[in-house]
A = this chain, B = another copy of it.
Amino acid sequence: MYEVEVKVPADLEAVRDRLEALGATRKRTVVQADTYYDAPHRSFPETDEALRIRRESSDGGDESRITYKGPLLDDESKSREEFETGVDDGETMDAVLTGLGFEAAATVRKERERYGLEGYTVTLDAVDDVGEYVEVETEVSAADEVESAREGAYDVLERLDLDPDDQLRTSYLGLLLES
């Protein structure tokens, strides 16, 4: 499975109007608080690893997940090991990590409003202290479908009056730490 994802800064109000005009399907809105941890024995920025607890709230209730992203296995494909599982209580999981010597380094909070449009998921992100962004994404099963899926994502951006050339390659965590 290959994930194709393009993210650009945007005025969400204007994008919302365009989505409505294009007949996009509104999906559920979630609020996510992602806490990233520093390790006591390694520098994650140097090893390119990440440890995160995500707390997500929506109409369906609250849920928490822990995620570990390993170092890049291969520069070319940007592939890495990733392990994620749900936890019953995010606060207790934070207490376990803190007890072990991990320290919360930063928390990214965002509201994510999702729409479906022509096989793509369009997500309107309002990120605390960072700004407003629109992400267009889809999944394809084969490597040779990636390029046309990316072209399709650019096309969706243009129909939303957004410019694919504004594409942002920094993570929200990176933007928050730079701010």
Contact = CB atoms under 8 A, between A and B. Distances in A.
Interface of A: 39-42, 49, 51, 66-68, 70, 81, 83-89, 92-93, 95-96, 99-101
A88 B89 contact: no
A67 to B, nearest CB: 8
Nearest to A64: B85
A83 to B, nearest CB: 4
Given A85-B92, A87-B86, A88-B86, A100 B40 contact: no
Most B C-beta atoms less than 10 A away, residue of A49, A88, A101: A88
A52 to B, nearest CB: 10
A100 B39 contact: yes
A46 to B, nearest CB: 14
A41 B101 contact: yes
21 contacts: A39-B100, A40-B41, A41-B41, A41-B101, A51-B100, A66-B93, A68-B95, A68-B96, A68-B100, A70-B99, A83-B95, A83-B96, A83-B99, A84-B92, A85-B87, A85-B89, A85-B93, A85-B96, A86-B89, A87-B87, A87-B88
A72 to B, nearest CB: 13
A83 B93 CA distance: 8
A93 to B, nearest CB: 6
Nearest to A39: B100
A84 B88 CA distance: 10
